Amino acid sequence: MRDYLRSNQREVLAGLVLIVLLAYYLATHPSGPSTYVMTIWANQCLILALAAAAQFFAVVVRGIDLSVGAIMALTNTAASHLLDGSAGQITFGLVAVLALGVLCGVINGLLVVYGRLQPIVVTLATASVFVGLALLLRPTPGGRVNYDLADAMTLDVLGVPTALIIIAVLILCVWLPLRRTGLGVGLYAVGSSEQAAFQSGINVRLIKVAAFGLAGLFAGMAGLYYGFVTTTGDAGIGPSFTLNSIAAAVLGGVLLRGGVGSLIGAMIGAFILKTIASLMFFSGIPSLAQPLFEGMILALAIAIGGAEVLRLRNKLEVFGR
Amino acid sequence: MTQAPLLELAGVTMRFGATTALDNVDFACHGAEIHAVLGENGAGKSTLMKLMAGVLQPTQGAVRLDGAQVNLATPAEAVARGIVCVFQELSLVPDLTVRDNLMLGAPGSGLLRLDRSVLGAARDMLDRCGAHQIRLSSRVVDLSLAERQIIEVVKGLIRKPRLLILDEATSALNTTVVEKVFDLVRVARDSGTGVLFISHRFHEIEALADRVSVFRNGQNVRSFANGTHSYSEIIDMMVGQRIDDLFPAKPTTDAGAEEVLAITRLSTEGGLSDVTMTLKKGQILGLGGLDGQGQSALLQSLFGLIRGQKGGIAIGGEPVQIRNPKSAKSPEIALAYIPEDRKTEGLIQDQSIAENLELPALGILPAGARAEGLFRPSLDALELKHGGLDKPVASLSGGNQQKIVLSKWLALKPRVLLLADPTRGIDVKTKTQIYQLLRQLADQGTAILLLSTDYEELIHLCDEAHIFYDGRVVSRLQGEDITAHNIVAASMNLPMNEANHA
Amino acid sequence: MTMTASTPPSRRARISAPGLDAMAPFIGAVLLIGLGSLAFPQLLSATYLLQQMQIAAYLGILATGATLVVLLGHIDLSVPWVLTGAAIVSTSLVGTGDPTLAALAIPAALAFGAVIGVVNGVGVAFLRIPSMVWTLAVNSMLLGLAVLNTGGFNPRGEASAAMTFMATGDIGPLPASFVLWMALALALGLMMARTAFGRYLRSIGFNEKATYLSGVATPLVVIGAFVLAAMCSAFAGVLLAGYANQAYQSMGDPFLLPTIAAVVIGGTSILGGRGGLFGTIGGAMFITLLTSILSIMQVDQAWRNIIFGAIILAMLLFQSLRRRAG
């Protein structure tokens, strides 16, 4: 336990911050803590949480994915074409949309590994391509996602927001089992020290491509869920999600140098960001001042995370490894 | 010997561009035998290991396992065939726990499954090394270098290798721990494992090896049974010429020499407590002790790298505040620090030799060609071999890189030289060159603080040796008192008399 | 092969001829014009080329500053709102109608850039926050400030005559903005090659720890580079305000990704250390021409995005594969 806290202190801290923020949000919300309020909140959080999870997979192997938003735009516009009709068509649509996300991610991964290019520049360029494709699919926002399916995914089950159930399922049935496999450990190994991972007999290339593939999968889920929330397709949703996914992951304790953090942390970071934005909305701060406050809170949160370096006794430790 | 060797290299040549690292080498190692490989840096030992471990593939020649030719394309393939290498550069993943590291790449682990069964054996081995304090749930990054080396060896052993390669695997361990680790290696040997062992410490080789091979300039000079040749014969084989004495003669100390550095009651949080020492002009003062007892903390404090220190530092009688390396190197203070890790802390590998040499002097000494004369004396004294000063420093061997680190600082004519284990992992010939240079600098008036993990250096090179334990100086040895026995006893904080009786 | 220690250090180590990586975008730009002129002969006219030089200068000045930060091994994502902020500051001062304040417009905008550069640099150098995150946070604070100040509408104000001249005027046969860009690149290029600051900057990009241990005040170098970069962004903001005769919300947003693209296809490694300012000039020209030709061809936005991304990928792959082969 002591070792767990020591190795995951940022994540634990982020969790505590989220609990405080959420309690404050529910306590101060004009209409009080109702299922409706919780559901709206959870839906907004889940979209960014999935984007942050996508970013986590790229970052943990010491990469970065600037195409998260673009993959969301592409999968979202694809969903607005495919997610309607018979049950069979919709099922096919769901699989196709997620497969499209994975394909985008794998392309990023292959370019990084076999093209020997830096992830930041690869995903910068592929993002342009993916947004272009999204614009081909939907030059203007529109289309339709099956309302029944959208309702099922964005309302609640017995008073519990479906979005929170989806998160629980992803963590319990995807992330925690994955963390205990060779792939899960390998992701951290490659991000923490590629040389050490290689010398330990790990297939570094495969792990990297898999990591970007997983990033694509989660970005695809984010685009899909955006479709459930809005029931339309929009090629212009990308840019803000890409940058916020990075901010969320960092807030949740994921280190950009790779090898540290977890999917849970990245998701917590996303929840914190969105909760702050919602709090702001009801806080009585003039609406013109809200963007500034949001920016300042983000900067402050990040700066506090950074301030611990000032306490380091040995100045060499700040240079990392 | 009718049975085919466990692993055999036949006519193997390895080239990197224009450099030939191994030249038509024949080499064999057998099961149930500990085989030590000796050679200067650049002799080809590391390349040999990397070929066997699947990190590199030979330019020419054959690798045979049990007499059958094999192609070891990746470390994973070598491991699958029972060849496990404990690398000189640590192959542990810093951000993962000890547990995850042990399972990583273990024979039973794959992309899906992790083999947990190895953990019990690993715990047992750690305990037998006396490393009870290492928890499997700790992250590797929170452990000391010595602890990491133990885990590294254990990680190799739990893979039940047919051939275990130990490449400088015990360089940070002290004598008592090394003995325990050797016991584990001997157990593996007795159960049939072949062991290949690289070390620069002669006494370790003498204690452990059954067979010795000497490499020089990429060739296998000779293989023989341990004990059939003396130290000096072996050194001759390694350097190809006779080195009569490793260490320069120690002059008598000048008691009246001017005091250069005075440290009064220096303490840092969690590092040093109450350290007081004085260093005189022309003195070489050795800092000894077990790993991490405050020796490095002292050097780093002096160079302005530790926050929140208490106590006084005076240079030439004047009290000074050393806030950071920039103030430490300023002409009023004139300290120079040669860090422990020359690859990442001492040098910028991607830049040229010339750029590395000039870096500390920029802005203090005239830049460019006029400054070149400043580096020449020390480079000449160290007989640096290089293919042009505009070549990347990465093209040099480890020993030659250390010469660059020394030279870049000597151009600033430091009053005090702080050296953190400058000869670790360096070949004998370069070591002697560095020893000569240090003595020469001392003769010219430079004061030297020398942290060393090799007690031969404390004995033969230092005028005085201060032994650290738990952040304090527990023993100040001078002249005849600097003996291996006294150093080892003080390192473990045993009173000298008791240790004598024990 | 082996020489003795007394060989003088070669001067080439310091001022090296631009490699093929840095030349690639220039070659690419020439190819673009050559191939494009087959379909659109007007590409070869002096008017068109001079106009492109003028427009390329805005991106070029941004990318010149960004190159310094990338050479350090960092990245500056605050470019869009430093640019917009500087444009707002300068046009508002001119808009007051007070001649003293109007004269101060350009210095004030540059000072604004310098202040933001210090904020960026302090966060990165002292708090050790990854530059990608910190400059992003600074960018969103600037956005917030602008919204608060202007009420979300386009700010009132106009460009001064000096701003308009720098953005759209000519010096001799050449566009003034192009001349300013070249002068800036030359000055910073000399700084990189000849001064200790330039040497430190590159050393930090390769290995910050070893540079610090060589007794270099690395935090000051990092802050200096961020200040220069933000001042370049601010200067580009002044020029763009001069070009449009106004400042407007989000005028910087379309420039962020092209700026980074110009730096990397100019051969500067995103990891720091390797590369230089010369290649960035070619990178900015190439991207400006590519955008312009795609718009002349009346390709729609979707295909423009796809072609733009694919060509940048192709150039990066070409450089990477060539490096591996060589």
- B476 CB neighbour count, 10 Å cutoff: 14
DSSP state at residue B264: E
State how far the Cα of A130 lies from the Cα of A110, in Å rounded to an integer.
16
The answer to whether B31 and B6 are in contact (CB under 8 A) is yes
State how far the Cα of B442 lies from the Cα of B465, in Å rounded to an integer.
15
State how far the Cα of C324 lies from the Cα of C326, in Å rounded to an integer.
5
The pLDDT score that the predictor gives to residue B160 is 86
Work out the mean pLDDT of chain B and round it to a whole number.
Answer: 85
State how far the Cα of A295 lies from the Cα of C137, in Å rounded to an integer.
6
The predicted-structure confidence for A146-190, as pLDDT tens digits, reads as follows 899 999 899 888 888 999 999 999 999 999 999 989 899 999 999
Smallest Cβ distance to A259: which of B87, B95, B304? B95
Residue A11 pLDDT greater than 80, yes or no: yes
Indicate the helix (H) or strand (E) that contains B278: strand B275-280
The predicted-structure confidence for A121-148, as pLDDT tens digits, reads as follows 899 899 999 999 999 999 999 888 989 9
The predicted-structure confidence for B467-491, as pLDDT tens digits, reads as follows 998 899 999 999 888 887 888 788 8
Q: Given CB atoms, is C134 within the 8 Å cutoff of chain A? A: yes
DSSP state at residue A310: G
The pLDDT score that the predictor gives to residue B386 is 72
Contacts of C279 (CB under 8 A, 6+ apart): C18, C21, C22, C23, C24, C25, C265, C266, C267, C268
With a CB-CB cutoff of 8 Å, which residues 93-122 of chain C face chain A? Answer: none
Compare all CA atoms of chain A with the CA of C299 and give the residue at the minimum distance: A132
The predicted-structure confidence for A294-317, as pLDDT tens digits, reads as follows 888 888 877 876 777 777 778 888
State how far the Cα of B269 lies from the Cα of B134, in Å rounded to an integer.
23
With a CB-CB cutoff of 8 Å, which residues 305-324 of chain C face chain B? Answer: none
- With a pLDDT cut of 70, the percent of chain B lying above it is 93
The pLDDT score that the predictor gives to residue B370 is 52
DSSP state at residue A277: H
Among the residues of A138-286, which ranges form H helices?
147-154, 162-169, 176-179, 182-192, 194-199, 204-230, 238-251, 263-282
Indicate the helix (H) or strand (E) that contains A86: none
State how far the Cα of A178 lies from the Cα of A175, in Å rounded to an integer.
5
The answer to whether C269 and C320 are in contact (CB under 8 A) is no
The pLDDT score that the predictor gives to residue A245 is 93
Angle at B15 between CA B14 and CA B20, to 5 degrees: 95
* CA atoms in the 13 A half-sphere facing the CB of A119: 25
Burial B381-409 (b: 16+ CB within 10 A, else e): bbebbbebbbbebebbbbbbbbbbbbbbb
Residue B497 pLDDT greater than 70, yes or no: no
Write out chain B residues lying below 8 Å of C13, CB-based: 352, 354-355, 389-390
With a CB-CB cutoff of 8 Å, which residues 320-339 of chain B face chain A? Answer: 324
Residue B416 pLDDT greater than 90, yes or no: yes
Whether residues C308 and A118 touch (CB distance < 8 A) is answered with no
State how far the Cα of B275 lies from the Cα of C129, in Å rounded to an integer.
35
B60 Rama class: left (phi>0) / alpha (psi -120 to 50) / beta: beta
Instruction: Please compute the mean of the pLDDT values over residues B368-374 and round it to a whole number.
Output: 61
Q: How far apart are the first and last CA of chain C?
A: 21
- The stretches in chain C having pLDDT less than 50 are 1-16
Indicate the helix (H) or strand (E) that contains B354: helix B353-358
State how far the Cα of C221 lies from the Cα of C218, in Å rounded to an integer.
5
The pLDDT score that the predictor gives to residue B498 is 44
Which structure tokens are listed for B394?
A: 């990465």
Count of pairs with CB atoms under 8 A, one residue in A, one in B: 113
The predicted-structure confidence for A184-212, as pLDDT tens digits, reads as follows 999 999 999 888 888 888 889 999 999 99
The predicted-structure confidence for B291-345, as pLDDT tens digits, reads as follows 778 999 999 999 999 988 899 999 998 999 999 999 999 999 999 999 988 888 9
Residues in chain A: 321
Partner residues linked to B37 by β-bridges: B198, B213
Please state the pTM of the whole predicted model: 0.85
Residue B244 pLDDT greater than 60, yes or no: no
**A96 or B77, greater pLDDT:** A96
Calculate the CA A205 to chain-centre distance.
Answer: 23
Q: How far apart are the first and last CA of chain A?
A: 26
Whether residues C127 and A128 touch (CB distance < 8 A) is answered with no
- A112 CB neighbour count, 10 Å cutoff: 25
Residues in chain C: 326
Residue B18 pLDDT greater than 70, yes or no: no
Instruction: Please compute the mean of the pLDDT values over residues B44-52 and round it to a whole number.
Output: 85
pLDDT band at residue B262 under the 50/70/90 scheme: very high
**Residue A194 C-alpha, separation from nearest chain C C-alpha, in angstroms:** 16
The pLDDT score that the predictor gives to residue B91 is 81
State how far the Cα of B367 lies from the Cα of A158, in Å rounded to an integer.
76
DSSP state at residue B451: E
Compare all CA atoms of chain A with the CA of B76 and give the residue at the minimum distance: A201
Q: Given CB atoms, is B133 within the 8 Å cutoff of chain A? A: no
What is the full DSSP assignment across C264-308?
A: HHTT--TTSSS--HHHHHHHHHHHHHHHHHHHHTT--HHHHHHHH
* Axis-axis angle for helices B398-410, B369-381 (nearest 10): 130
The pLDDT score that the predictor gives to residue C22 is 84
Write out chain A residues lying below 8 Å of B138, CB-based: 3
State how far the Cα of A69 lies from the Cα of A56, in Å rounded to an integer.
14
Smallest Cβ distance to B95: which of A6, A260, A316? A260
> What SS3 class is residue B87?
coil
The pLDDT score that the predictor gives to residue B499 is 42
**Residue A289 C-alpha, separation from nearest chain C C-alpha, in angstroms:** 5
Angle at A138 between CA A137 and CA A142, to 5 degrees: 135
Whether residues B308 and A313 touch (CB distance < 8 A) is answered with yes
Q: Given CB atoms, is C298 within the 8 Å cutoff of chain B? A: no
pLDDT band at residue B492 under the 50/70/90 scheme: confident
Whether residues A316 and B96 touch (CB distance < 8 A) is answered with no
User: Which ipTM value was assigned to this complex?
Assistant: 0.88
